[in-house]
Amino acid sequence: MNGTEPGALPAAVNLRKTYGSTPALNGASIEIDAGEVVAVMGPSGSGKSTLLHCVAAIVAPDGGSVRYAGQELSTMSDRGRSALRRSDFGFVFQFGQLVPELTCGENVALPLRLNGVPRREANARGREWLERLEVAELAGRHPGEVSGGQAQRVAVARALAPGPRVVFADEPTGALDSLTGERVMHLLTSAAREGGAAVVLVTHETRVAAYSDREVVVRDGRTPTARRVPAARP
């Protein structure tokens, strides 16, 4: 994990974001605790993905505050936010978004290489993460040669390889069948907890949210509800 002080995870307060004349966020707030899995839920168009993108420093809110490690993200330079996304934050998206020209092993090693890790070390660490996600045999294959579930495991390995403090997962099982999705969620949450990373998970599926410790519900761009899940899965 990176050297940021313990507990200094993202905290967003009163976020507002509008696209054109359409408000996406209207006073949403969320705070992430170290090592927890948080499910951000809500109907389509509620603003849950926009909330994740603002907290993860992918897009800038129009108003409100997002702080991480004692710093306001809106005051950071584009280069600083990019460096933060490479080092402290990991990402898993609905369709994996692997680089098709690279092998699966190279995809996992890519964020390490971008952070300056030597090629041999990055490749070795990438192979270790593929093994932990039970897809070590895919290291030399390209994303177009593997199944959707296998590709998503590779994407999870890529997100976790740099040792992030927070993994942001936006509908990570949305393109998978239920059985494959269950396996991906088990591997994602188990590996993140073993590494001490928090997970912020956007989903509209209760079976996926069941892997979380806490649910934050977004409605009409607001976050009126945050409740702890009584029987979170290991």
Q: Which residue type does 221 have?
A: G
Please give the average per-residue pLDDT across 133-151, as a whole number. Answer: 94
- In a shared domain, residues 159 and 169: no
Residue type for 111, please? P
Alpha helices in 115-234, H assignment, sequence order: 119-132, 148-160, 178-195, 206-209
Residue that finishes a domain, picked among 163, 189, 213? 163
Mean pLDDT of 137-144: 95
In this structure, is residue 170 part of a structural domain? yes
- The model's pTM is 0.88
- What is the C-alpha separation between 95 and 87, in angstroms, rounded? 22
> Does one domain contain both 84 and 170?
yes
Q: Sign of the C-alpha dihedral, residues 106, 139, 144, 187?
A: negative
Residue 177, classified by CB atoms within 10 Å of its CB into exposed (0-12), middle (13-18) or buried (19+), is: exposed
pLDDT at 105 over 50: yes
Q: Supply the pLDDT for residue 227.
A: 52
Predicted local distance difference test score (pLDDT) of residue 232:
44
Give me the domain span that covers residue 200.
1-88+165-234
Q: What is the DSSP letter of 220?
A: T
